[in-house]
Structure 1
């Protein structure tokens, strides 16, 4: 009887240890721990447009257009400021992707270009006909889910003083603000004061935003070194570009956005439902993700990719199980399960509140955004830690660990039996 109890105890201990290895424990990584979410494929492009794009004369970064592209007004050049590494990270190395018809002339300076529809005329330098390497419908579903999730984050309000609107944040990692489009478009000057290196998300509510309403002419960023607000542009920016690089303007419900041609707009702009009019002058110093886009003259996009951290806490996906053949599954044929909100879940799951002391998300992590294990120009601002495993890659070390536990248990049972036999 004693031998049976010992064997049972060993078997139970081995089973519990194996269970502890196979069942993932909730990860608690947050922005404070280095967990960030990127915008995936879309984050690698300076202009990422779901529908049509009518634009000239250039975009310094990569351009992806799901609909038709008309570059005929003054020609169009693409990718001048891309690095070799950035080109390599683009799908197929395509710095210009057009899912519909294209009208040139167009010149691809770095990388290569592809269009899936018709060539409506004009020189095509570096551009060939072929299938689009991007599923725009899928990518924009992710962007809309991300934009909606970010909009639910509690944010601070700016302070209005006459025609000047000032956003002030003190958190060293993440600062979140919420403002109505009506309030924002009344400003002549927009000022932002946050610590250099922190990620800043400005959620703008409302369906229409028009900078021409009050002729918004200045976006100024606080520069700690000079103790002053500095106009953002190529040759004039605060904190050596650290602030604009991690600044995201989020327009979750806007259907039209119009930029005043008299300013340079710092930061990247997420407006997945909006027709975006860049005007006829003044650049966006960052990326633009929009439903459609128009712009001409000096209204170009400068290559300052978003490098901020989209905050959120990673939680594990559905507990993996093992099929009879021994291959891991998630209980749904290996596919990701939907998040509680009904939106597509991230590969790492959904997110809960951000770090204490900062205005992190209060709902789920940006749905559809991709957990990023390392910083990159595509929008991951920090290293990943505590990400729950998915699939066979994560299951292999757990299986080996479980086998080792069971082997150790078996050895203990065998040793107990030998000792009993010798005693008798």
Structure 2
């Protein structure tokens, strides 16, 4: 996509926007082994400016603000190929590396075409627990604007920043060795929920042919679960269609992709109203609970969110548009042959829940007059024996719960320091952009907004003006606060 020039130039940021990560949302972590709605800061839109309805991908004015994380990786976030943008709030506990084929800009936080729902001004648009590296020839652009004003936010990083990074004012690059600390519980949540959902019993069946996968629900359950043990692709690995049948209106739909290296390769999804998967989007979840190498490929505006629970796993996304949350315990590779984008859309479904074994009661049962020691069948927690008559030689120890709640040693990051930046700013553009056409599937479907005479298709991305940038370099300690991890686990210019 191409951004038109504007009279305002990007200026060097000198005053920090010292906004701490919200504590309350991060404290809302699910009980171990349970699921249901995703707890903040994951899942549904949060904040006072959430849109009543989420529009199809467009390049109009901002339609709302959303404080919920849109893309989370417990590992590294790597951009290669010709991938172009990732919208919404982004958190990666590892390194962020942009190394596109032929170089170019990768927009973050604000994207040229998408839902146009952006994070709140002054918040952290991008957070990393590791290093940020825009490899030579590449650049990262954070923030943007519409016809009414800017959307600006911070890059908060625990490690070093190298290469060219441009942040719209008055967003800041903030060196914070504890940048990732508040999000360790989020990683735990993703691992646990993915595992739980992956163990849910199927309520429907899946039939995969050489051209189509049909998911047939039971027609009644409000949590429809499909367990898939094969690739959603043709026998030769090509694209197929995805069709859902017998799904009650408003039901949450979970597609569990089981196995080590599952693949989804599809042309299904336009992002347009009336499209089946568009209507399902906010309650459609693809879950990869154990995958080491998962892939979502194709030529669609892919609808639905993605959950992957293996912290040692890598998920590759190569779709023109990914319309939903991306929550990975492991690594993300965002790639593609054109201006491929991650768009910010919420997940507000009600996921399956897992049984949780209750902790033992801290109070022993009342003793029986005739049997001082309870029999093994009277309780599942094996309390210490008691006696009607106290003794002085064998006091009964006070039982303690066996499932302690995880604690966070640093709920709020330490006072951040602003990393050095240069002051060589020049005029840049962040206004309405125009776009050429792109192909979204073998059938040439996906009519959408027309941009710059591109026809009735959803826009792709193209070359733009050179950004005003500043080189950021600094060193930071990568300290994750000694937190316990519980589980076996941007109208952006780019070229």
User: Which range, TM-score by smaller chain?
Assistant: 0.5 to 0.7
1:260 aligns with 2:308: no
Preserved CA contact (<8 Å) 1:261 1:278: no
Partner of 2:106: 76
Partner of 1:336: 405
Preserved CA contact (<8 Å) 1:76 1:106: yes
Aligned residues between the structures: 277
Preserved CA contact (<8 Å) 1:98 1:114: yes
Question: How far is the alpha carbon of 1:336 from its aligned partner?
Answer: 3.1
CA-atom RMSD in angstroms: 3.4
Q: 1:62 aligns with which of 89, 105, 108?
A: 89
Partner of 2:348: 307
| Cα distance in 2 for residues equivalent to 1:318 and 1:300 | 48
| Cα distance in 2 for residues equivalent to 1:239 and 1:192 | 8
1:52 aligns with 2:121: no
1:197 aligns with 2:266: no
SS at match of 2:290: coil
| Cα distance in 1 for residues equivalent to 2:403 and 2:262 | 42
Partner of 2:161: 119
Structure 1 residue runs of 5 or longer lacking an equivalent are 1-34, 220-231, 322-329, 338-367, 370-424
Partner of 2:458: none
Preserved CA contact (<8 Å) 2:197 2:353: no
Question: How far is the alpha carbon of 1:149 from its aligned partner?
Answer: 1.3
Change (3 A) 1:68 1:83: same
1:276 aligns with 2:329: no
Matches within 5 A, 1:226-241: 232-238=269-275, 241=278
Q: Which one has the largest radius of gyration?
A: 1
Q: Structure 1, residues 99-150: CA drift from partner, whole Å, max 9, x if none?
A: 1111242213444321111011212303322231544544323322211111
Preserved CA contact (<8 Å) 1:278 1:300: no
1:146 aligns with 2:193: yes
Partner of 1:128: 174
Question: How far is the alpha carbon of 1:185 from its aligned partner?
Answer: 6.0
| Cα distance in 1 for residues equivalent to 2:323 and 2:317 | 12
Partner of 1:100: 130
SS at match of 1:51: coil
Question: How far is the alpha carbon of 1:174 from its aligned partner?
Answer: 1.4
Preserved CA contact (<8 Å) 2:272 2:278: no
Matches within 5 A, 1:169-208: 169=217, 170-171=219-220, 173-182=222-231, 186=235, 188-193=240-245, 194-208=247-261
Preserved CA contact (<8 Å) 1:204 1:251: yes
| Cα distance in 1 for residues equivalent to 2:162 and 2:230 | 38
SS at match of 2:262: strand
Question: How far is the alpha carbon of 1:244 from its aligned partner?
Answer: 1.1
Q: Given the two structures, how large is their TM-score scaled by the length of structure 2?
A: 0.49
Question: How far is the alpha carbon of 1:181 from its aligned partner?
Answer: 3.2
Q: Which has the higher contact order (CA 8 A, sep 6+)?
A: 2
Q: Structure 1, residues 283-342: CA drift from partner, whole Å, max 9, x if none?
A: 211111221112243322111111101133898776688xxxxxxxx94599439xxxxx
| Cα distance in 1 for residues equivalent to 2:360 and 2:155 | 40
Preserved CA contact (<8 Å) 2:125 2:142: no
Partner of 1:388: none
